[in-house]
């Protein structure tokens, strides 16, 4: 009886959330955007697949006011893009997240400036230097875990966004005390919420969009520069240490770049992974069994177990394959004409790799719509077949951190929660703020496991 009451209570909580979601943004988008932009925002993966089916590969992607981008979902052409000499391309002028990043962050840089900046940052993002940070990720999991009761409803996206935000801020500002960290979370939340990639299609004069965004950006910048300086004074500045001596605006553009590039991407991947683990009980039970076989071990022993678990690793890879948060990466041609499949592209033309299509090539991925982690246990894939983090000289600098974060959060979640999906809705990928993810809330009815 008590179990039945709980199920009903959880279902009501979930239904309320779904109702609130359904009366929000998509309908506004439908009213203000032309049909092709609306279709892209609400069904980006299908939209890209339709273009490829219609035009062949490579295929053109174009939106009003933005240059046409020639995209490929084919691994041979992906190799052409990712192995081209660094001086063949520059970063695209119209980056949908450009306004969040500013001009000086790593993503907006090109050529030798880009390469030398990367060189300075890379040591802080290596597997070895990230290893001590694992404990901060575990602590973050327990901070959030404490805030949940013994049982109830957990909304996957909230859990994921919350964890990823705390983790990226702890990574950038390891010296902040708790009250400062809370302030940093609030400022970042307000700043990110004040922007949406769809703003790019909205002119400056429309009230309430750019003005609020600029205000939230200034608030974040003022306080985050103080945080940076206090880190310098203490001699603790984690990955930002190479920026001592840079101008204020450079420092802030880098900070915003790491936050923007590292927050929603990681959260979206975590949301998909938790969804797919729960939509197939065999996968959830197998993972739980493999990870909790030595139940009474300490946190550190458990960390070691989960980090070396191959099945968990394959779940993370398969989630990034089936639902890559970044659907395509782009480059702008700078110094010579470029043969791209059957297209001859010229200087200033844009091209790129469509990751969501690359990850569905049937020759490489049989039954690509099925979530099958074992495919990563059965064989290895080249960096031109599997590229959730892009590739070449621009490959995601935070890839190791993202995978570490995903493994730890999933591993600890599976150990400490017994949960099942509420409802039978299959979440659709949609354009979130900057990535492609499940917008409609996904609820888990959970009971905590006690050790």
Separation of alpha carbons 446 and 419, rounded Å: 4
Output the smallest distance, CB 418 to ligand HEM, in A: 26
Separation of alpha carbons 140 and 413, rounded Å: 12
Q: Residues 269, 261: contact at Cβ < 8 Å?
A: no
Output the smallest distance, CB 425 to ligand HEM, in A: 24
Output the smallest distance, CB 30 to ligand HEM, in A: 28
Positions that interact with ligand HEM (CB under 6 A): 106-107, 118, 168, 257-258, 261-262, 265-266, 269, 325-326, 329, 388-391, 394-398, 401-402
Output the smallest distance, CB 31 to ligand HEM, in A: 31
Closest CA to 307 of 133, 142, 147: 133
Q: Residues 41, 430: contact at Cβ < 8 Å?
A: yes
Query: Which stretch of DSSP H or E encloses residue 187?
Result: helix 178-193
Q: Which is nearer to ligand HEM, 120 or 226 (CB)?
A: 120
Q: Which is nearer to ligand HEM, 153 or 436 (CB)?
A: 436
Rg of the chain in Å (alpha carbons): 22
Q: Which is nearer to ligand HEM, 13 or 246 (CB)?
A: 246
Q: Residues 152, 10: contact at Cβ < 8 Å?
A: yes
Closest CA to 3 of 450, 445, 451, 449: 445
Q: Which is nearer to ligand HEM, 122 or 233 (CB)?
A: 122
Q: Which is nearer to ligand HEM, 24 or 382 (CB)?
A: 382
Separation of alpha carbons 59 and 215, rounded Å: 39
Joined together, the tokens standing for residue 54 give 């219609």
Long-range CB contacts for residues 430-433, cutoff 8 Å, separation at least 24:
430/26, 430/41, 430/42, 430/43, 430/44, 431/40, 431/41, 431/42, 431/44, 431/197, 431/198, 432/264, 432/268, 433/192, 433/193, 433/195, 433/196, 433/197, 433/264
Residue given tokens 């999906």 in the structure block: 421
User: What's the maximum distance between 2 C-alpha atoms anywhere in the chain?
Assistant: 72
Separation of alpha carbons 354 and 194, rounded Å: 28
Output the smallest distance, CB 293 to ligand HEM, in A: 28
Closest CA to 209 of 201, 200, 199: 199
Q: Which is nearer to ligand HEM, 153 or 240 (CB)?
A: 240
Q: Which is nearer to ligand HEM, 409 or 422 (CB)?
A: 409
Q: Which is nearer to ligand HEM, 391 or 429 (CB)?
A: 391
Q: Which is nearer to ligand HEM, 106 or 251 (CB)?
A: 106
Output the smallest distance, CB 353 to ligand HEM, in A: 7
Output the smallest distance, CB 159 to ligand HEM, in A: 16
Output the smallest distance, CB 230 to ligand HEM, in A: 20
Separation of alpha carbons 432 and 439, rounded Å: 6
Output the smallest distance, CB 316 to ligand HEM, in A: 9
Q: Which is nearer to ligand HEM, 266 or 445 (CB)?
A: 266
Output the smallest distance, CB 186 to ligand HEM, in A: 20
Separation of alpha carbons 316 and 253, rounded Å: 30
């Amino acid at each position: 009886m008590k179990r039945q009451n709980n199920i009903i209570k959880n279902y009501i909580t979930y239904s309320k959330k779904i109702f609130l979601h359904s009366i929000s943004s998509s309908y506004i988008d439908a009213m203000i955007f032309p049909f092709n932009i609306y279709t892209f925002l609400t069904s980006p993966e299908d939209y890209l697949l339709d273009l490829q089916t219609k035009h062949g590969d490579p295929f053109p992607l174009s939106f009003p006011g933005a240059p046409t981008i020639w995209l490929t979902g084919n691994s041979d052409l992906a190799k052409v893009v990712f192995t081209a000499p660094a001086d063949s391309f520059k970063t695209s002028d119209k980056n949908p997240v450009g306004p969040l990043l500013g001009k000086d962050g790593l993503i907006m840089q090109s050529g030798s400036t880009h390469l030398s900046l990367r060189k300075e940052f890379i040591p802080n993002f290596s597997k070895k230097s990230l290893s001590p940070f694992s404990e901060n990720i575990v602590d973050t999991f327990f901070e959030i875990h404490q805030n949940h009761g013994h049982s109830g409803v957990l909304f996957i996206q909230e859990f994921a966004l919350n964890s990823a935000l705390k983790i990226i801020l702890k990574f950038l500002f390891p010296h902040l005390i708790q009250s400062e960290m809370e302030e940093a979370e609030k400022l970042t939340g307000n700043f990110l919420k004040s922007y949406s990639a769809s703003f790019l299609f909205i002119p400056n004069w429309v009230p309430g969009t750019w003005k609020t965004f600029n205000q939230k950006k200034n608030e974040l910048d003022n306080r985050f520069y103080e945080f940076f300086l206090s880190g310098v004074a203490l001699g603790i500045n984690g990955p930002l240490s190479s920026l001592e001596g840079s101008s204020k605006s450079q420092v802030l553009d880098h900070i915003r770049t790491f936050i923007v590039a590292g927050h929603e991407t990681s959260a979206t991947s975590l949301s998909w992974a938790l969804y797919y683990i729960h939509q197939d009980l065999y996968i959830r039970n197998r993972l739980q069994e493999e990870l909790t076989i030595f139940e009474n071990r300490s946190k550190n022993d458990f960390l070691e177990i989960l980090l070396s678990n191959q099945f968990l690793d394959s779940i993370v890879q398969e989630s990034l394959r089936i639902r890559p948060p970044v659907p395509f990466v782009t480059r702008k041609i700078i110094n010579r004409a470029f043969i791209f499949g059957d297209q001859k592209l010229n200087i200033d033309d844009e091209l790129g790799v469509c990751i969501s299509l690359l990850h569905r090539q049937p020759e490489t991925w049989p039954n690509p719509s099925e979530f099958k982690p074992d495919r990563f246990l059965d064989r290895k894939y080249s960096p031109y077949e599997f590229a959730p983090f892009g590739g070449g000289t621009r490959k995601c600098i935070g890839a190791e951190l993202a995978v570490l974060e995903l493994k730890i959060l999933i591993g600890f979640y599976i150990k400490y929660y017994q949960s099942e999906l509420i409802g039978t809705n299959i979440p659709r990928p949609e354009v979130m703020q900057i990535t492609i993810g499940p917008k409609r809330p996904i609820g888990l009815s959970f009971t905590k496991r006690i050790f």
